[in-house]
Amino acid sequence: MASTQQLDPTGLSPHPDIAKAAALRRMKNIALALLVFMAVVFCFAFALAPRFPWLAYVRSAAEGGMVGALADWFAVTALFRYPMGLKIPHTAIIPNRKDEIGSSLAEFVETNFLSEEVVSQKLAKTQIAQKVGTWLARPESAQRVATEGAAAMRGAIAVLKDDDVKDVIESMVRKHVLEPPWGPPIGKLAERIFADGHHHSLVDLLVDRSTAWIKSNHTTISGLVSTRSPSWVPQFVDGLVGDKIYTEIHKFALAVQEDPHHEVRLKLDDYLKDLAQELQHDPAMIAKAEGIKAQVLGDPEVRELAGRTWETLKAALTDAVEDPTSELRLKFTSAVQDFGARLVSDTELAAKANKWISDAAAYLVGTYKHEITSLITDTVERWDAAETSQKIELQVGKDLQFIRINGTVVGSLAGLAIFTIATLVFH
């Protein structure tokens, strides 16, 4: 005969609900069998009591056992359904008061478990930061975090639309780069640079390069004189003038190069400082800076910049998350592991982390505990009344059948005791 026992997906063991239903049926049969046994004993004792007076004690015990069994059967059955289908008041309690039970359960959980004090005390004893740090400090754990982070990054990149990201980058560039005037901030920055003398290195570089170019381009400089002189000037005169001009230019460049306080350098400093002030306060100079900005970063250039920025960033992130040996993955893994080790070794950091976790949890519980417990209420309200009763009976019904068995035994003992005491007192 084929078995009707339902198996779990692995086919190795019975489904939990099937096993619980079988255990519940078995306990019901035991309780019923005990009631039937008491009834049979009562019948025999009642019939034979005139011939055997001592059977009166047996009859009383059996009678008490039946009363106890029936009373507890009624009590247990009244929790889940109407006894024998009779709509007796205060029966079928779970189906009829399902929503009230859900509300009471939610209130109980909210009052006794979701209080800020309870959550804070529990988290303070748990030392979550140290436990998390111990886990993160393990190389395999840090690698797992990096792997999961890479998966999340891949998912985010796949979900994001290129045009949307480009629009965001473009809007940020316009808001933070193009809309604010360039002149005042550039002038303020330049003023600090010039005041501290940081531009002198650049000036030195330009002077050195200019001097070197002049030294190595004697022919070019002399040729300029010949090209621009009148045709009637003799050629040897052009050569003499060109050599003289080259010599003077080279001498002048060397003087500027060798003297940090040369007049040209001082004049250049004054010019740059004036320029920094004009960029900040001169409307005409500020307007010129805005014009340069508009020429350099017009609408097509900004859109192209946003596109190139996103494409470069996307390609770099994709390559980094796909490659377990990439610099980004290795740095991130190392950072996670180091942070875990610090949580374990640095008591001050761990204390701050634990306090932050405790405060955050207490805030969430205090703010959203009604929403959290409403999950219980709403879920119970959605349940079908009969199905809810069946589910609860399936979970606790086996233990409740012991009440019937205990009621039978206790009823028997009580009936025997009452009959014995009454016999001793009144006879």
pLDDT tens string 322-334? 888 888 888 888 9
Whole-Å CA distances, 140 to 53, 238, 259, 323, 335: 81, 81, 63, 17, 13
Of 55-69, 268-282, 298-312, the poorest mean pLDDT is in 298-312
Residue 305 has pLDDT above 80, yes or no: no
Within the chain, what is the greatest distance between any pair of CA atoms?
169
Q: What is the mean pLDDT of residues 99-117?
A: 82
- DSSP for 165-225, please give it: HHHHHHHHHIIIIISS-SHHHHHHHHHHHHHHTTTHHHHHHHHHHHHHHHHT-HHHHHHHH
Q: Decide: 350 and 131 in contact? Cβ < 8 Å.
A: no
7 contacts: CB under 8 Å, gap ≥ 6: 13, 14, 15
Q: Which of the four pLDDT bands, split at 50, 70 and 90, describes residue 178?
A: confident
Rounded to the nearest integer, the mean pLDDT of the chain is 83
Q: Which of the four pLDDT bands, split at 50, 70 and 90, describes residue 289?
A: confident
Residue 5 has pLDDT above 50, yes or no: no
Q: Which run of H or of E encompasses 89?
A: none
Write out pLDDT tens, residues 85-107: 888 888 888 888 888 888 888 88
Of 93-107, 130-144, 214-228, 249-263, the poorest mean pLDDT is in 214-228
Looking at residue 319, what is its pLDDT? Answer: 83
**SS3 (DSSP) at 14:** strand
